Chains A and B, each alone.
Chain A
C-alpha cells in the first residue's frame, strides 16, 4: 500500500522502455510520474483514492526511460482483504497520446480561428473606413452660406457599408447665384456610388460652364449615356437641378430648375399653402442620347419654403424586405431613411418648417402596398429668410 510496484504488464513496460526487473519491488508508482505528476499524486490523487477507494480518468504524464513524456489517463481502485483492510492498489493506465494530440489540434484550430477573426475584423474596419471616405466624397461636408437663406442638412443611412445612390449638393456659381441639385441612382452599393460620384462632379463642372439647369442636365445626360451605353444595365437616375438667383430685394430669390425624371417640386408658401412646380416630361437622365429636360421657374419671397424637392424612391431591396415582414413573409429588413433638407434659419416659428419637412418623409416611409406610390426619402428645401 505504499505504492511499491508489485506487478506490471508488458504493455506498460514497453511504454516506459524499461525492464521488468528494474521496476518490480524497486520503484513506487509515483516514481513513474513527472515532478508535477508526483506533486499532484501526493496532494490530490492519493488522498482521494484513500477516501473513495477508487479514482477514474486522471490525466498525468509518465516519464519514459529515454526522457520523453507520455500522456496517460490514470484510474485506480483499492482492493480490500476479507477483513476489510486495504490490500493493494490496482492501477490502470490508458494511452492518451491520441487524445492529447487531438486536444492540441483543437487548441491550434481555435487559435487559428481567433487570429482569422481578428484579421477579418481589422479588414472590415479598414473597409468601413474606406467606405466612409468614399461616402463623404459623394456628399458635401458642409453647405455654403447662401445670403438670406439658411441651409442645413440631415442625412441618415442605415448601414455604413451600403454606399448610397442618393446625392445632393449646394454650391456657389459666382458672386450671387447658387446652384443646387438632388437625385437618386436606383441602386445601392459601389456601383451606385460610382454613378453618384460621376453625376455630382459632372453637374458641378457643367454648372460652372453654363449656369442653365437644362444645360447642366443635358451635359450629365451625355456623360452618363456615353458611359453606360452598351453596359446592358443602365442605372436609373432621377435628378433635379436648380439655380437660385437673388432678386432686387433681400430674401427674394428666383428659382429656376430642371428635372430629369423627378417628381415635381413643391412650393410651400409662407401662408401655409403648397403647390406643385410641374416639370412634365423631363426624362430620366442617361437613357436617351438626346433627352429633353423640362424646366420651371418660380419666385420665392421671404417665408416661402421653396421648392421642397421630394425624392420619391421606389422600393429597393431593403424596403422590400420590410414590406415582406409586414406581410409576415420574411425577416425585418434594414431600415434606411435618408432625409435631407435645406431649411430656413428664421421663419415665424423657427423650428416648425424643419419639423414639418422632416416629419413628412418619416411618416411616409411606411412600407408601401403593392402598386402604391413609394415613400418619399429626401427633401431639399432652400428657404429665404425674412429680410432684415
Chain B
C-alpha cells in the first residue's frame, strides 16, 4: 500500500500540516480529514508543507482544492509550501497556482 504521513504543528500564522509520501486515490481523504480537523479559525493561515510529497495524483489535487474551499469557508487563508516540481507543474496546468499562494519553503510560509 502507498504510504502517507501527515504531521500537524502550530505556527504563529496558524496550523501547519506537513505531508510526506504519496497522496493518491486511496488516501487523499485522510488529508481532507486532517485539514478539517486543524481547528482553523477566521483570519488564520493554513499552511500545507508539501516538501515531503513524493507523488500526488488527481485525487490529491482534489484534496488540495477541498482544503482551499475549507479555508475560504472559514474566512482563513491557505498557502502551499515547498511544492515539488512535478506537482507544481500540474498546479500550473490546472491554474491552481493562481488561486492558492505558493511559498518556496515552510519557514517563509509561516512568517507572519
Residues on A close to B: CB < 8 A? Answer: 186, 232-236, 238, 260-263, 280-284, 287-288, 291-292, 294, 312-317, 320, 329, 370-374
B94 touches A284 (CB 8 A): yes
Contacts beyond the supplied A233-B62, A284-B65: 8 A-B pairs with Cβ under 8 Å: A235-B62, A236-B65, A261-B93, A261-B95, A282-B95, A287-B96, A316-B57, A317-B25
A261 touches B87 (CB 8 A): no
Interface size on B, residues (CB 8 A): 29
Interface string of B79-105 (1 = CB under 8 A from A): 000001011011011111011000000
Q: Which residues of A contact B22 (CB under 8 A)?
A: 370
- Return 14 A-B CB contacts under 8 Å, by A number: A235-B62, A236-B65, A260-B95, A281-B95, A281-B98, A283-B96, A283-B99, A284-B96, A287-B99, A292-B95, A294-B95, A314-B59, A371-B56, A373-B89
How far, in whole Å, are A283 and B92 apart by their CA atoms in the complex?
A: 9
In the complex, what residue of chain A is closest to B59 when comparing beta carbons?
A186
B41 CB-CB contact with A under 8 Å: no
Q: Which residues of B contact A186 (CB under 8 A)?
A: 58-59, 61-62
A238 touches B94 (CB 8 A): yes
Distance to closest chain B CB from A218 (angstroms): 14
B58 touches A371 (CB 8 A): no
How far, in whole Å, are A233 and B56 apart by their CA atoms in the complex?
A: 17
B24 CB-CB contact with A under 8 Å: yes
How far, in whole Å, are A371 and B56 apart by their CA atoms in the complex?
A: 7
A287 touches B86 (CB 8 A): no
In the complex, what residue of chain B is closest to A374 when comparing beta carbons?
B57
Q: Which residues of B contact A234 (CB under 8 A)?
A: 62, 65-66, 69
Q: Which residues of A contact B90 (CB under 8 A)?
A: 314
How far, in whole Å, are A263 and B96 apart by their CA atoms in the complex?
A: 13
A371 touches B84 (CB 8 A): yes
Q: Which residues of B contact A287 (CB under 8 A)?
A: 65, 96, 99
How far, in whole Å, are A372 and B25 apart by their CA atoms in the complex?
A: 16
Distance to closest chain A CB from B59 (angstroms): 7
